[in-house]
Structure 1
Amino acid sequence: MAPRVLISDKLSPTAVQIFKDRGVEVDYQPDLGKDKDKLFAIIGNYDGLAIRSATKVTEKIISAAKNLKVIGRAGIGVDNVDVPAATAKGVIVMNTPFGNSITTAEHAIAMMFALARQIPEANASTHAGKWEKNRFMGVELTSKTLGVIGCGNIGSIVAERAIGLRMHVVAYDPFLSAERAVDLGVEKVELDELFRRADFITLHTPLTDKTRNIIDISAILKMKKGVRIINCARGGLIVEADLKAALDSGHVAGAALDVFEVEPATEHPLFGHPNVVCTPHLGASTTEAQENVALQVAEQMADYLIKGAVQNALNMPSITADEAPRLTPFVKLAEQLGSFAGQLTEEGIKGIRIEYEGDVAGMNTRALTAAALTGVLRPLLQTVNMVSAPIMAKERGIQVSELRRESAENYDSLIRLVVITDRERAVAGTVFADGRPRIVEIKGIKMEAEFAPSMIYVTNEDKPGFIGRFAGLLGDAGINIATFALGRHAPGEDAICLVEVDGEIPAELLAEVQAIPAVRQARALTF
């Protein structure tokens, strides 16, 4: 029986034909995504769901999708898909991360021009029969400083276009290396310096816990008077009330917004403001981009449903069916080692080296390296997956290398991940006979610990009394310890503590642990 795919948003007719040509039965209902009750009623009949942004794939929808195997998002953002719920149900979530990058970058440039020359207001005035030439005094872009927040795939295209306009570009991106900045022709700076120097600021970063509200009143007050702000990324990056206040006061000369905190935005305090240009989330809306992402998602979904091939999956590694049973535990190990390193690294990453020792050195290390990079990058780039991670690392100038050794000293297989900033720090792990990954070494200190959903990582001086005070703080806070792993270089020297706990770790508890005299670092980790 042929697999069935429901298309619940508008998608190119060519995409529909790709499904049919590959032997997939297609039900094209482009307006269904707006009717969540009807979608809930019929989703159980389909193996695949192809969407854009209108369809909201909630946990409730996924719970009713008894036959669903894959969700394909034509575009990069998956804000409208409950990925954890899909993962728990065994449903693959795919996106098309690179099909609309040029279109979005061009829209940001167009918004910058419109803002600089007040084109929308001047257009409306002229259409109204007025001739207000003196009212619309714009500014040149030439020789101005453009601050790019997020210099990945889209941000780097914006930077290149801006340099072509003879602008000076400063960029803030924790993953942007000095070498990559030189290649792009941009000046890498810290965020406060970008705020201080930029005449125009454009946002090209995903919405994460670290980037949410990155532009608020405290950030705006660091900017020069007369700055202009462009956002074609995600609405939650800007505190909209703070932006309105700054526009009203004149500190911000203008803003161009393609995205809003709540969408669709049919009413908004900034609508009608004379110094604000607004568009309805058009960043990816060109004929070329719509066609590209539609064709790409159809090909990816059809290949999975017919052949079992996985591409651009956010919640599943790209592994062939033949190698899956042996490789999957090591993919999980590599990604968790990467996540461990990524959560603990705050400096700009210059390089990542993955060392494979023993039996694992003869496996598909390309997939393993992609998994490790995914783990490292995910804390800041939540949509990264095994396919896009190597490209995103390259775009940020992160040098990635592999080292293989046929034998491992103490284990049948060992993976060691080394993060290179201004120094090198390593974490190593293996897979035991039970198929579960373990950490066996951190920064050269031998220890053994399983990965767990909620953990506390502490580095400290090896002094008497630390463990008692640490455990006491957890007990006083009602935090139950599940496992407790310790390691040290030598008596009285550097020591590491990795503790699995039940439940979330309050920030105030972490601050109390950090305040213990022997503690150098205390971090909460999630896996």
Structure 2
Amino acid sequence: MPRVLISDKLSPAAVQIFRDRGLDVDFKPGLKPAEIREIIGEYDGLAVRSATKVTRELIEAAPRLRVVGRAGIGVDNVDITSATARGVVVMNTPFGNAITTAEHAIAMMFALARQIPEASASTKAGKWEKNRFMGVELTGKTLGLVGCGNIGSIVADRANGLRMKVIAFDPFLSEKRAVELGVEKVELDALIARADIITLHAPYTEQTRNILSRERIFAMKKGARLINCARGGLVDEQALFEALQSGHLAGAALDVFETEPATDSPLFTLENVVCTPHLGAATTEAQENVALQVAEQMSDFLLTGAVSNAINMPSVTAEEAPRLKPYMELARLLGSMAGQLTVAQDASIKAIRVEYEGQAAELNRRPLTAAALAGVLTPISGAVNMVNAPVLAQQRGIEVAETVHERSGDYVTLLRVTVVTEGGPRSVTGTLVGTGKPRLVEIKGIAVEADFAPHMLYVTNQDRPGFIGRFGMTLSEAGVNIATFHLGRTAPGGDAICLVGLDGPLPAGVLETVRGLPLVVRAVPLAF
């Protein structure tokens, strides 16, 4: 039974979900990094919030780890590169706290526009400075959204209700979606120049780091206001301080900072700055939602293979998982056979093509292609799975292509994996029979009907009388029992294939004897 470690504070309801689904779960929040590393090797899953840092060292200490679940949107505390390299799925919960974070951005906007924190402090101090706190209306102002995904779109909806003019910069926002949201899609520099208030809703990446640079901050309209409830590091904080201090900007409201916890910042000295300690997701509802969501996602993955909201792997719904499972196994086996034949020739892979025909063409193909890549690359690179196979292929400069055939063929469903090397392409084709059993139907263009076995011997030979008898006698004399025997050929007297299922690994020395037989062109042991 899969084991899960929860190393940060999560709702008791989330712990119960793991237990109700039959998983063995340990709830141990507050452990020190060294303590987590000491025990993580016993677990298949790790559920965290932001306190636990899932570092390369932690991942390397976890040979059983299959999934890391982050209860929240940001995965800054997870080393995605190391997790991917080790084949560990990283999930987050992008929807659980979207409303809460959007509402906090709206609240910060109001607080900044009406100077509510300063006015509250003044009033509580016994003053009645009614004329000091002159605010501005939000109605009619132009709101610029930098990022219009889950959270940004909710902010847009609320801003439209406030009768604001909403413009948005988001490379992934389509014109159709912009119309649906009631926003005008613009380029970033146009947004900077036009917006009265800018609010950030983008992830922190190398591309978005300091997206509001010094140049862009001072390009903002004089008297504009800035809201950041997304991620620290999106804003050049020193430039923001100077723009606020000089009066170029009227104010800023910040929930996130480049360094957190932020206990000492020049921004804290300014009256026109509203600050909160990363409270975007800090509501009872949001904390409950993300905890329940991550528990459900991790349980589905560990028990059924369903993948939801993964950062480094294609999604597979709980409904899709049972249907895709035999296809993924077929893709893996075909890829593994192609990979083993390629390794045996010591050839460098230039490209991998995966073709789909019949029912296979109608499926979610991304996980199938990932499974095929894992099959091809495992004999070459060792421990490879669906998570790290696409990255490994990219690192090796291997071109990956999918092809969908709408034609009708001899089989209801068909997958073909082709590996292209300097010596040319080599393809292996298979289908599913019965209740989803993988079966080979073609190797290098030669028709052959064969079931996969854990241990097999692949032989190419010249089609001449007497070969099968000599080959069978050689295996018999070596004490090798033949479980299955499958033949195929291009034409009488032409190239032929012999695929033998064995009861166990081929004994040492037998392979060289087989290779020395007359008419044998090539002999390769296979293991699946």
TM-score by length of 2: 0.64
CA RMSD of aligned residues (A): 3.0
* 2:326 corresponding residue in structure 1: 322
* 2:526 corresponding residue in structure 1: none
* 1:129 corresponding residue in structure 2: 126
Task: Confirm or deny: 8 A CA contact 1:72 1:297 kept in the other structure.
Answer: yes
* 1:25 corresponding residue in structure 2: 24
Q: What residue ranges of structure 1 are gaps of 5+ in the alignment?
A: 332-355, 373-384, 387-401, 416-430, 436-527
Task: Confirm or deny: 8 A CA contact 1:59 1:82 kept in the other structure.
Answer: yes
Cα displacement string for residues 52-74 of structure 1 (whole angstroms, at most 9, x for unaligned residues)? 11110000111111222211111
* 1:438 corresponding residue in structure 2: none
Task: Confirm or deny: 8 A CA contact 1:3 1:24 kept in the other structure.
Answer: yes
Task: Confirm or deny: 8 A CA contact 2:232 2:258 kept in the other structure.
Answer: yes
* 1:15 corresponding residue in structure 2: 14
Cα gap change, 1:42 to 1:196, in 2 (>3 Å): same
* 1:148 corresponding residue in structure 2: 145
In structure 2, what is the Cα distance between the partners aligned to 1:297 and 1:82? Answer: 18
* 1:201 corresponding residue in structure 2: 198
In structure 2, what is the Cα distance between the partners aligned to 1:237 and 1:85? Answer: 24
Cα displacement string for residues 179-229 of structure 1 (whole angstroms, at most 9, x for unaligned residues)? 222221111111111111111000111122222111112112221100000
Task: Confirm or deny: 8 A CA contact 1:357 1:406 kept in the other structure.
Answer: no
> How much does 1:329 deviate?
10
AA in 2 matched with 1:65 = A
1:138 pairs with 2:160: no
In structure 1, what is the Cα distance between the partners aligned to 2:406 and 2:252? Answer: 55
SS of residue in 2 equivalent to 1:147? strand
1:433 pairs with 2:427: yes
* 1:112 corresponding residue in structure 2: 109
AA in 2 matched with 1:260 = F
Once the two structures are overlaid, the 10-residue window that deviates more, 159-168 or 180-189, is: 180-189
Aligned match of 1:279 in 254, 276, 280? 276
> How much does 1:3 deviate?
2.3
Once the two structures are overlaid, the 10-residue window that deviates more, 243-252 or 2-11, is: 2-11
SS of residue in 2 equivalent to 1:292? helix
In structure 1, what is the Cα distance between the partners aligned to 2:228 and 2:332? Answer: 39
Q: What residue ranges of structure 2 are gaps of 5+ in the alignment?
A: 336-352, 370-385, 388-402, 418-424, 430-528
SS of residue in 1 equivalent to 2:227? strand
1:261 pairs with 2:258: yes
In structure 2, what is the Cα distance between the partners aligned to 1:40 and 1:84? Answer: 18
Cα displacement string for residues 246-305 of structure 1 (whole angstroms, at most 9, x for unaligned residues)? 001010111111111111212222113211111111111111111111111111112222
In structure 2, what is the Cα distance between the partners aligned to 1:255 and 1:24? Answer: 46
Higher Rg: 2
Cα displacement string for residues 158-179 of structure 1 (whole angstroms, at most 9, x for unaligned residues)? 0110010010111111222222
In structure 1, what is the Cα distance between the partners aligned to 2:69 and 2:38? Answer: 20
* 2:182 corresponding residue in structure 1: 185
In structure 2, what is the Cα distance between the partners aligned to 1:360 and 1:72? Answer: 35
Q: Percent identity?
A: 64
Task: Confirm or deny: 8 A CA contact 1:226 1:253 kept in the other structure.
Answer: yes
Matches within 5 A, 1:197-346: 197-317=194-314, 318=316, 320-327=324-331
Task: Confirm or deny: 8 A CA contact 1:214 1:237 kept in the other structure.
Answer: yes
Cα gap change, 1:360 to 1:122, in 2 (>3 Å): farther
In structure 2, what is the Cα distance between the partners aligned to 1:125 and 1:94? Answer: 45
AA in 2 matched with 1:321 = K
In structure 2, what is the Cα distance between the partners aligned to 1:143 and 1:312? Answer: 37
Cα gap change, 1:316 to 1:171, in 2 (>3 Å): closer
In the TM superposition, structure 1's runs of 4+ consecutive aligned residues that sit over 6 Å from their partners are 328-331, 369-372, 412-415
In structure 2, what is the Cα distance between the partners aligned to 1:269 and 1:113? Answer: 23
TM-score by length of 1: 0.64
SS of residue in 2 equivalent to 1:174? coil
SS of residue in 2 equivalent to 1:9? coil
* 2:159 corresponding residue in structure 1: 162
AA in 2 matched with 1:29 = K
Matches within 5 A, 1:396-475: 405-406=406-407, 433=427
Cα displacement string for residues 386-434 of structure 1 (whole angstroms, at most 9, x for unaligned residues)? 9xxxxxxxxxxxxxxx9862279xxx9899xxxxxxxxxxxxxxx9637
Aligned match of 2:79 in 57, 77, 82? 82
> How much does 1:328 deviate?
6.3
Task: Confirm or deny: 8 A CA contact 1:358 1:407 kept in the other structure.
Answer: no
SS of residue in 2 equivalent to 1:139? coil
In structure 2, what is the Cα distance between the partners aligned to 1:287 and 1:11? Answer: 12
In structure 1, what is the Cα distance between the partners aligned to 2:360 and 2:140? Answer: 52
Task: Confirm or deny: 8 A CA contact 1:259 1:280 kept in the other structure.
Answer: yes
AA in 2 matched with 1:201 = I
SS of residue in 2 equivalent to 1:75? coil
In structure 1, what is the Cα distance between the partners aligned to 2:426 and 2:131? Answer: 75
Matches within 5 A, 1:472-483: none
AA in 2 matched with 1:236 = G
In structure 2, what is the Cα distance between the partners aligned to 1:322 and 1:286? Answer: 42
SS of residue in 2 equivalent to 1:323? helix
1:362 pairs with 2:359: yes
In structure 2, what is the Cα distance between the partners aligned to 1:434 and 1:254? Answer: 64
Cα gap change, 1:213 to 1:434, in 2 (>3 Å): farther
